[in-house]
């Protein structure tokens, strides 16, 4: 009785499945990233970079909790799926860590790997904010925007560190 009315009540309902699929992808990605950030924090030489990775690890845990709230806000259980893009980005990060082990450019290489991850996340959260806006999922939109802002801040911070130390020859 209510189904037809409800399906019309949500604007841009055709985006629903895509929205959920992208949410599952980024939940998987964030979980995969936790391990990667730990390793990057271990490998980083500069104190600022080490701290930035450690801080972002804590933020990533928050982001996972926030994603669970997003799922709850649309009455779905939080389920992630393996993110192939994140897997690839983290494999490359591993490679670059091995290649630049003991090299002066190691921190710069770690920053490059981390910024590629951030840009992937920024693209995904950006799309999710757009879909939530179009479907008028207000609560989800606010939560996703908070994470998007955090990812952008992390990206800027990494650029700052790169400019201030990692890429400057001692």
Binding site for Fe ion (CB under 5 A): 60, 63, 121
Under 8 Å between Cβ of 127 and 22: yes
For residue 151, the minimal CB distance to Fe ion (Å) is: 5
For residue 110, the minimal CB distance to Fe ion (Å) is: 16
For residue 132, the minimal CB distance to Fe ion (Å) is: 17
CB-nearer residue toward Fe ion: 49 or 100 = 49
User: Chain-centre distance of CA 44, in angstroms?
Assistant: 20
Which residue is associated with the tokens 């690839």? 88
| Euclidean distance between CA atoms 35 and 44, whole angstroms | 15
Reference 103, options 28, 169, 152, 33; nearest CA is 169
For residue 10, the minimal CB distance to Fe ion (Å) is: 27
CB-nearer residue toward Fe ion: 63 or 100 = 63
CB-nearer residue toward Fe ion: 32 or 63 = 63
CB-nearer residue toward Fe ion: 100 or 154 = 154
Burial category of 106 from C-beta neighbours within 10 Å (exposed 0-12, middle 13-18, buried 19 and up): buried
Reference 158, options 93, 98, 112; nearest CA is 112
Under 8 Å between Cβ of 32 and 9: no
For residue 74, the minimal CB distance to Fe ion (Å) is: 20
CB-nearer residue toward Fe ion: 100 or 147 = 147
């Amino acid at each position: 009785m209510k189904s037809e009315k409800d399906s019309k009540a949500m604007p841009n309902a055709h985006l629903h499945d895509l929205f959920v699929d992208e949410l599952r992808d980024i939940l998987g990605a964030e979980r995969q990233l936790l391990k990667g950030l730990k390793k990057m924090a271990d490998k980083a030489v500069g104190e600022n970079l080490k701290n930035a990775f450690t801080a972002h690890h804590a933020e990533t845990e928050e982001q996972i909790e926030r994603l669970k709230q997003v799922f709850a806000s649309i009455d779905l259980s939080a389920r992630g799926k393996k993110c192939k893009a994140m897997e690839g980005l983290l494999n490359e990060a591993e490679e670059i860590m091995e290649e630049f082990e003991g090299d002066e450019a190691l921190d710069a290489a770690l920053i490059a790997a981390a910024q590629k991850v951030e840009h992937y996340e920024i693209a995904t959260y950006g799309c999710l904010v757009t879909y939530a806006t179009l479907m008028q999922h207000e609560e989800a939109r606010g939560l996703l925007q908070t994470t998007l802002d955090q990812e952008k801040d992390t990206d800027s911070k990494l650029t700052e560190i790169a400019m201030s130390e990692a890429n400057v020859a001692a």
